[in-house]
Chain A
Amino acid sequence: MGTEMFNIRRGHPDDLVIALAGNPNTGKSTVFNALTGMNQYTGNWAGKTVGSAVGYFRHSTASFTLVDLPGTYSLLSQSPDEQVARDFLCWGQPDATIIVTDATCLERNLNLALQVLEVTPNAVVAVNLLDEAKRKGITVDLNQLADELGVPVVGMAARRGIGLDELKDTVLRLATGHYQPDPQPLTYSPEVEAAVAALLPRVSPLIPNPRMARWVALRLLDGDPSVLDAMERYAPNQHAFGGETTWLPTKSHSAL
């Protein structure tokens, strides 16, 4: 597991790897450019026709490799863009994740934010375009948002460089483990929760991370076969954790 299988070139072997997620049109690229400047290259995701951009920056004593994920509304649909974003967040194990959101329509952006937090708690929500929101008479209570999400929230107007330093500070603390958020998992209906509880004893031996195990169980309940393919591709060694792995269908997942 790690960044290698995603064709991501780290700036330095010790670089902390940061994923940059967000809806389209949230100013995600502006944040990416503001953080990395000219120090970036573009390419393709391994085996995909989805473009990727990777950049580098330093902050304090640490150096970072920043991976710009495709802008998506969701991690759960089957488009190539969303699969790339989902697979990297799930199996690429970034040291921290930045979720860029648009303050002018925050509500619709929180869908992706919550989906990302289901996969990884080690994230910061960047509420961008605060200047545009202000012009529209929208104010965002950043503290309450941070309380409710359970992860740090940084207000930004990335075009004008506002919030960049706070974002870098937060990313550094997250990626070095000085700050370990623990957002409350979303609770589903009693029926779904009962099904998750029934599946977890079979999933957990394969996926040691409890948050990821819950997420995989939910995808299995969705009847989403791509999660099994991704597990085989990106986490084959995980099978060793269980010993008994024959339940995992390789190509025929009709039972699900």
Chain B
Amino acid sequence: MHGKPLTELGIGQTARIEALAATGANRRRLLDLGLVPRTEIEAVRRSPAGDPVAYRIRGAVIALRREEAAQVFVCAD
């Protein structure tokens, strides 16, 4: 899988989605939330416990759990 996992994106940083490691229903869910390859994604803030993290994706802020974010691979712009 190219790029680094989304979990390594720092708060305030922006990257571009390279690929999804998820399959089946989980992959479908991520795609439906707008996590389509080549989409720009920004880590907006971390919840107090550190998980989930809020990301800006195609004009909406969406919280992803760590296990979900680990399935998303991104590259710096």
Contacts and interface: CB of A to CB of B under 8 A. Distances in A.
Interface stretch (B12-20, B41-49, B53-61, B65-73): B53-61
Contact of A108 (B24, B28, B29, B34): B34
A8 to B, nearest CB: 26
A115 to B, nearest CB: 9
Task: Place the interface of chain B in its size category.
Answer: 10 to 19
A74 B59 contact: no
Interface residues of A, number: 12
Nearest to B57: A108
B54 to A, nearest CB: 15
B58 A74 contact: no
A108 B25 contact: no
Nearest to A79: B29
A77 B29 contact: yes
A244 to B, nearest CB: 31
B33 interface: yes
A83 interface: no
A139 to B, nearest CB: 15
A122 interface: no
B32 interface: yes
A111 interface: yes
Contacts of A74: 28-29, 32
B59 A73 contact: no
A73 B33 CA distance: 7
Contacts of A4: none
A161 B35 CA distance: 34
Contact of A105 (B24, B28, B29, B59): B59
Nearest to A76: B28
Interface string A104-130: 110110010000000000000000000
A201 interface: no
Contacts of A77: 25, 28-29, 32
28 contacts: A73-B32, A73-B33, A74-B28, A74-B29, A74-B32, A76-B28, A76-B32, A77-B25, A77-B28, A77-B29, A77-B32, A78-B25, A104-B59, A105-B58, A105-B59, A105-B60, A107-B34, A107-B58, A107-B59, A108-B34, A108-B57, A108-B58, A108-B60, A111-B31, A111-B32, A111-B34, A222-B28, A223-B24
Interface of A: 73-74, 76-78, 104-105, 107-108, 111, 222-223
